């Protein structure tokens, strides 16, 4: 996943703080917080964006006006939803409002509230909203699920109105200014309903995901956290460790960094504050994955240091083959089954001039050609051109190559 960035705890209850006759209760909160909620990973019923789900809540409050919260606001307002925004950093709210993500939230009642704050703050914001009695249902976007659930139970939150969730999207840079209305398009939106979660809370959460262009996928909190440790949290650690290992190199040596190093360390630009909360909240699964990776690195280092030529060659081949196989398992689209053998790859050489990439995709769109995936964008800063590789259906490769050539692009079929 790309760098995850969430907003800061908001003050949505500021005008209604300790509302008399609070409608929220703590009934049913004796559930064991260490229990494994639910079953296996599955696309939620009615996952098609064309049918099978209801309209989104028409009045939504978002607590946290960072990248994720503001992007949700932009997506919802673009579909006619009345969005209210809150954040302890009022400047972020102002930026989000100017961008069109909604207007400031002063404690008005909403149909649904989205808590878009770091994991350690989720339970507190959930409790704050419930005490104020201003949100009928609530979801969150935290990339750690088990810890907030435990803390919500411990603080006496009403679990029936809350559906834990996590959109798998982000960027390295946070803040409202980095938000995009299409951030969640074709992305997975994980939904982790609890045994106490009401049908209304689940339906509202799924509808929000659909409206933002995402595919809701249902799983449990424990399965989510285990998966995120492997697919998001440990990759962040590795990227940061690799980037942090470069200060001993001279400036001239750093200039030798190619696109591979830049790609692998891209996540190192992520927000330290947010990631300290994420890794602390999912410390167990991440630690287990880190130890496994460390053991394999040590094993490889020992072979490289002491092994024979044949042993080194075998170890490297085994490593690379395992990596090839693992990457081939990745779905090409959110919620899809991986079919890496089904696509053909076309490389296109782009001149180092403004607008070339946009012009390419505009042309492909005009030709009504569907690009299944973008494998890489190679661009040496000192070179006059870059290369983008596109995955398309095999039966249209020849036609695409002919069209590209006629339009003046140099293109080739990747073997």
Beta-strand pair 135-140/162-163:
parallel
When divided into structural domains, the chain yields a total of 3
Using 50, 70 and 90 to split pLDDT, how confident is the model at 32?
very low
Rounded to whole angstroms, the Cα distance separating 344 from 394 reads 5
Q: Which residues span the domain enclosing 281? A: 224-328
How many other β-carbons are positioned within 10 Å of the β-carbon of residue 294? 10
* Alpha-carbon span 184 to 167, nearest angstrom: 7
The 10s digit of each residue's pLDDT in 188-221 is: 999 999 999 999 999 999 999 999 999 999 999 9
Q: Bigger pLDDT: 363 or 2? A: 363
pLDDT band at 15 (very low <50, low <70, confident <90, very high): very low
Residues 122, 198, single domain; the answer is yes
Residues 400 and 265 in one domain: no
Choosing from 287, 302, 328, the residue where a domain stops is: 328
pLDDT of residue 38: 38
Query: pLDDT tens for residues 92-139?
Result: 999 999 999 999 999 999 999 999 999 999 999 999 999 999 999 999
Q: What digits encode the pLDDT tens for the residues 42-96?
A: 444 333 333 346 889 999 999 999 999 999 999 999 999 999 999 999 999 999 9
Look over the chain and give the mean of its residue pLDDT values, rounded to a whole number.
83
Residues 156 and 191 in one domain: yes
**How many CA atoms within 13 Å lie on the side-chain side of 347?**
12
Which of 186, 219, 252 is the last residue in one of the domains?
219
Does 2 score more than 50 pLDDT? no
* 317 shares a domain with 247: yes
**What is the number of residues in the chain?**
415
Q: Is 371 helix (H, G, I), strand (E, B) or coil?
A: coil
Same domain, 106 and 175: yes
- Binning pLDDT at 50, 70 and 90, where does residue 250 land? confident
pLDDT at 224 over 70: yes
2 conformational bin, left if phi > 0, alpha if psi -120 to 50, beta if neither: beta
- Summarize pLDDT for 141-195 with one digit per residue, the tens: 999 999 999 999 999 999 999 999 999 998 767 899 999 999 999 899 999 999 9
Domain contains 394: yes
Let me know whether 298 and 374 are in one domain: no
Asked if the structure places residue 35 within a domain, the reply is: no
Q: Does residue 252 surpass a pLDDT of 70?
A: yes
CATH number of the domain enclosing 279: 1.10.3660.10
Residue 116: what are its φ and ψ, rounded to 5°?
-110, 70
pLDDT at position 337 over 90: no
- Model pLDDT, residue 157: 97
In a domain, 275, yes or no: yes
Q: What pLDDT does residue 163 have?
A: 98
Q: Residue 212: what pLDDT?
A: 96
Residues 157 and 292 in one domain: no
Assess whether 252 and 292 both reside in one domain. yes
31, HSE (Cβ side, Cα atoms, 13 Å): 23
Distance CA 2, CA 168 (A): 8
Instruction: Reply yes or no on whether the pLDDT at 333 is more than 80.
Output: no
Closest CA to 166 of 286, 85, 77, 278: 278
**For position 174, what pLDDT does the model report?**
82
Q: What is the pLDDT of residue 170?
A: 83
Q: Report the b/e string of 395-408 with b at 16+ CB within 10 A.
A: eebeebbebbeeee
128 and 203 part of one domain? yes
Asked if 137 and 153 sit in the same domain, the reply is yes
CATH number at residue 405: 3.30.70.260
Residue 386 pLDDT class (50, 70, 90 cuts): confident
Output 342 or 398, whichever has higher pLDDT.
398
26 vs 154: which has the higher pLDDT: 154
Paired with 389 in beta bridges are 347, 376
Coil, helix or strand at residue 186:
coil
The least confident of 211-225, 262-276, 336-350, 351-365 is 336-350
Domain endpoint, select from 219, 239, 264: 219
Highest mean pLDDT among 244-248, 300-304, 336-340, 377-381: 300-304
């Amino acid at each position: 996943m790309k760098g995850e960035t969430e907003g800061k705890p908001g003050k949505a209850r500021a005008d209604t703080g300790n509302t008399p006759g609070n409608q929220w209760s703590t009934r049913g909160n004796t559930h064991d917080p260490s229990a494994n909620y639910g079953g296996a990973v599955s696309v939620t019923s009615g996952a098609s964006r064309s049918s099978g789900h209801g309209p989104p809540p028409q009045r939504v409050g978002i607590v946290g006006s960072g990248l994720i919260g503001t992007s949700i606001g932009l997506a919802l307002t673009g579909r006619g939803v009345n969005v209210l925004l809150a954040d302890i950093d009022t400047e972020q709210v102002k930026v989000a409002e100017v961008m069109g993500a909604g207007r400031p939230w002063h404690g008005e009642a909403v149909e649904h509230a989205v808590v878009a704050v770091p994991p350690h703050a989720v339970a507190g914001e959930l409790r704050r909203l419930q005490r104020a009695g201003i949100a009928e249902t609530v979801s969150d976007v935290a990339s750690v699920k088990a810890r907030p659930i435990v803390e919500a139970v411990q603080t006496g939150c009403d679990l029936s109105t809350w559906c834990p969730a996590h959109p798998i999207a982000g960027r390295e840079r946070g803040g409202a200014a980095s938000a995009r209305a299409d951030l969640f398009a074709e992305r997975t939106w994980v939904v982790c309903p609890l045994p106490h979660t009401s049908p209304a809370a689940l339906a509202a959460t799924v509808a929000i995901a659909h409206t933002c262009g995402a595919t809701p996928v249902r799983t449990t909190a424990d399965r989510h956290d285990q998966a995120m440790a492997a697919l998001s949290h440990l990759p962040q650690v590795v990227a940061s460790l690799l980037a942090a290992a470069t200060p001993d190199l001279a400036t001239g040596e750093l200039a030798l960094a190619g696109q591979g190093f830049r790609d692998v360390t891209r996540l190192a630009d992520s927000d330290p504050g947010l990631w300290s909360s994420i890794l602390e909240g999912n410390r167990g699964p991440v630690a287990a994955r880190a130890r496994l990776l460390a053991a394999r690195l040590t094993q490889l280092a020992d072979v490289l240091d002491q092994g024979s030529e044949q042993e080194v060659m075998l170890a490297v081949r085994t490593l690379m083959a395992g990596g090839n196989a693992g990457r081939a398992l990745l779905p090409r689209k959110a919620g899809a089954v991986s079919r890496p053998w089904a696509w053909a790859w076309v490389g296109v050489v782009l001149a180092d001039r403004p607008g070339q990439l946009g012009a390419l995709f505009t042309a492909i769109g005009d030709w009504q050609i569907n690009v299944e995936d973008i494998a890489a964008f190679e661009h040496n800063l000192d070179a006059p051109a870059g290369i983008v590789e596109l995955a398309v259906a095999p039966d249209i490769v020849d036609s695409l190559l002919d069209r590209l050539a006629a339009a003046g692009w140099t293109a080739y079929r990747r073997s």
